[in-house]
Amino acid sequence: MNSQTNIIEHVWKDHIFQGKWIKTNNLSREIINPATNEVISEVQLVSIDNVNKSVNIANEAQKLWKKTTFENRAKVLRKAAHFFEENIQTFIDWNVQECGSTLLKATWEANACIEQLYMAASMPMAASGEIFPSSIPTRTNVWQRVPLGVVGVISPWNFPLLLSIRSIAPALAMGNSVILKPSEFSNVTGGALLAWLFQRSGLPEGTFQVINGESEIGETLVNHPQVNMISFTGSTGVGKKIAETCAKQLKKCALELGGNNAMIICEDADVEVAVNNAVWGTFLHQGQICMQTGRHLVHRNIADLYIQKLKEKALSLNVGNPSLPETHLGPLINATQHQKVCNIVEEAIHNGAKLECGGKGEKLFFYPTIITNINKDDPIFTEEIFGPVAPILIFDDISEAIEIVNSSKYGLAVAIHTERTAWAYEIAKEIKSGMIHINDQTVNNEYHVPFGGMGESGYGGRFGGPANFDEFSQRQWVSILEKGIKYPL
C-alpha cells in the first residue's frame, strides 16, 4: 500500500456512508487481496435498519436535488471527473489489489470512468422535453422528463468502478438520488472510494450513499417501496429474482446480465487480426467479463491455423501478480470461481475434448486455456464460464454458425471476422444479440453508444449516450391552457 492509499483508508475505517461518514460499531468485513491472500483493509457493513434510514435520507435529499439548477448538477459531475483524474492512481491501485485487475485493465477502467463522468455532466443541459401539437389550438402539450426519485444501484466486482458510475452519474444528472450496493468482493473499489469521490465533489449530503453487506442488504434495497428504480449488473439468476420483485411493485428496473458471447471467424478472415482480437476478448481480466468471448466458431478451412496461432499467443501470456506491468492475467476473484472453472474444463476433457494448452491453475491463478474437439451442446460451450477459457467449435457454413450462436439463451455481444463487411452487416440482422462487432472483439464499450443485451443478457433498457435520458427518468405529459374551455356536457 502506498502512503496515499493509507491516508484514504482512514476516510472509511469504522464508518458507513449515509451522505456523510458515520462511525458505527457494526460488523466489519475484511478486504483480501486475491493475488496474495493478504488482508489489506476492512469496511463496516450496514444493517437492515441502516438501509431503511438511508432510503429515508435519500428520499428527502432528492426533493432538493431535483430542484437544483442544471448548471449546479453539471458542475458537481465535472468536479467528480476532475477529482477522479487528480487521484486516478489511488483508484487504479485499489482495483488491482482488491479485485485482481491487471494494471492495464485497471488503468483503462479508470480512464473510462472519467469519460463517463464528463458525458453525464453534459446531460443536465440537454432538452428536458418535447412539444406536441393539439387538436385544441390554444392548448400546449409538453412531454417532459422528470426524475424517478431514489435509484438503487447494485454493481459487480469485475468492473467495480465503471459499472457503478455508468448508472450513478446519469441517475444523478437526471435529478435522482442514488444508493449504491457494491459487491462484497469490491467494497472499497466499488463502494468506499466512490463515496469519497462524490463527497469531495460537492454533492449535497444524502444524495449519494453506499451500503455494504451481503445479499439480504441488496434484497432490502430492492424491496423498499420508496426505491423507485433498481439498476443491476450481475448474474442472470439474481437478475431474474430482482425483475420478479420489481414487477410485483411495478418498479422500474434495468438489468445487464450474463453472456456467452461468440466470435465467428469466417474463411476469408485475417487470421492474425482475429487471433489478436480473440486473445483480448477471451483473456482480458482473466475472462471475468460479461462480454468475454466465450465461444469461438471457426470455419473449417482456417481452423488449424487459427488454433495454432491462438495457442502460441496464449502460451506467451504472463500470469501472476497483477500489480506488475508485465502481467497479462491476474487471479480469479475467489476460490469458488476458481473451482468452477477447473470443474468445467475437467468435465470437458473427461467427455472427450482436447486440451490444447492451460487447463490448470495455482492458488487463484488459472492459465489461459484452449479447448477443441467439442460439440455445440457441451457445457463448456453453452455455459458462461467467467474464466480464461477459449472453447473452439468448427463450422462449415455461415447459416450453421448463426444457428449455433442463436441457440444460446444469452444475447449480449457477437463478433464477426470477414473481408465482406457489407455482407456481415446483413448477417448481423439475423443474429440475436444486443451488440454485433464486425472485425473486432466482443469486449467493447463506447460511452456514448447505447449498450445492452437481449434474451437472458439484458432486461429493461440500455445504458449509455441518449439511452441514459429515458433510462434514469420517467415521462410526464403536461397540457397547458391559458384559459379554460367549455366541454359539451
Q: pLDDT tens digits for 26-64?
A: 999 999 999 999 999 999 999 999 999 999 999 999 999
341-358 pLDDT tens trace: 999 999 999 999 999 999
- For 234, list phi and psi in degrees, rounded to 5: 170, -150
Q: Across all residues in the chain, what is the average pLDDT? A: 95
- Whole-prediction pTM: 0.94
Is residue 6 over pLDDT 80? no
Residue 256 is a catalytic residue: yes
pLDDT at res. 5: 55
Residue 4 scores a pLDDT above 70: no
DSSP β-bridge partners for residue 151:
178, 229
All cell numbers assigned to 61: 435529499
List 266, 290, 384, 456, catalytic entry:
290
In the predicted model, is pLDDT for residue 318 greater than 70? yes
Grid cell of 46 as nine digits? 450496514
CB burial string 139-157: b at 16+ within 10 A, e below: eebeeebebbbbbbbbbbb
Active-site residue, from 109, 184, 256, 471: 256
How would residue 73 be classed by pLDDT, with cut points 50, 70 and 90? very high
Mean pLDDT over residues 370-395, rounded?
96
Task: Give residue 7's pLDDT.
Answer: 56
d(CA 275, CA 31): 36
